[in-house]
Structure 1
Amino acid sequence: MGQLRTSPPPPQAAELERWRLGTPAELRGLRASLRDALTRHGLSQGEDLDEIPHLVVLVATELATNALRHGIPPTIVTLLSADDCFILDVADHDLSTVPELADTNPLDSGGRGLLLAQSASLAVGWYATKETKNIWASFPR
């Protein structure tokens, strides 16, 4: 197992949208709303699954699922904008654990959310506030 780097997202990042999730059933609404938000804030929707909007939504779903499954609700998903990138920040209220990259067995059904975030984004990190543990990932505009 490995650890993620500990650092907050760039300080000049500005909040664009925020969602509060209490249950996994709310993930479907998050996906649709996040796609709309990305379009409103300048990303065009493409047909390919490796295009940025699809990757942001996929990573948001994975990180929010992890937070709902292993953290303390509510899960807070925030879309931020910095100079040349979008930043996705997912927070839960469990300060007792540190995010770790799992050694996964290819036959396991879970444990790949952070690995997926690392492979699909420019950078991934985590930080804690007095109330939340946050994992963030950045994506090119």
Structure 2
Amino acid sequence: MSTPVQAPAGPQPADSAGRRAIWLSVAALAMTFMLPLAGLVMAGFALMAGVRALPVLKDAGRSTGMAVGGIVVSSVALALSAMATALQLYLMDEYSAYQECMKGAGTVSSQGECFAQFREAAQRKLPADVLQLLGAVQP
């Protein structure tokens, strides 16, 4: 009969704690640009991983640069994804109308008309400075 192998009890290894924080934060930033809501969730996990990595790295006498970098990048991703998600929720009706219009658009010119209608609807709902920031005013 063999003795079962047990995982070491105690905190996570210090070497992987900082790397985990930075990789999760980079993944959260990438997800923010693809799926803002998923980026929001992943940025929350990355932020927690970075915060949890700090004491582990300090106790092991290692540099906390990776954990701090992960916290900074995940905070940026969290802010960007929160703004993008809020904007998507705010313009949900206009975007739904745009999708319906695009379903029936069979030509490039009719697709352009759908985008023009979406842009006009967004311009009515958003302030001009936000639209310039987003680049929606320029064709």
Q: Which has the higher helix share?
A: 2
More contact order relative to length (CA 8 Å, sep ≥ 6): 1
TM-score under structure 1 normalisation? 0.29
Q: Looking at secondary structure, tell me which structure has more strand per residue.
A: 1
Q: How does the TM-score come out when normalised to structure 2?
A: 0.29
Larger radius of gyration: 2
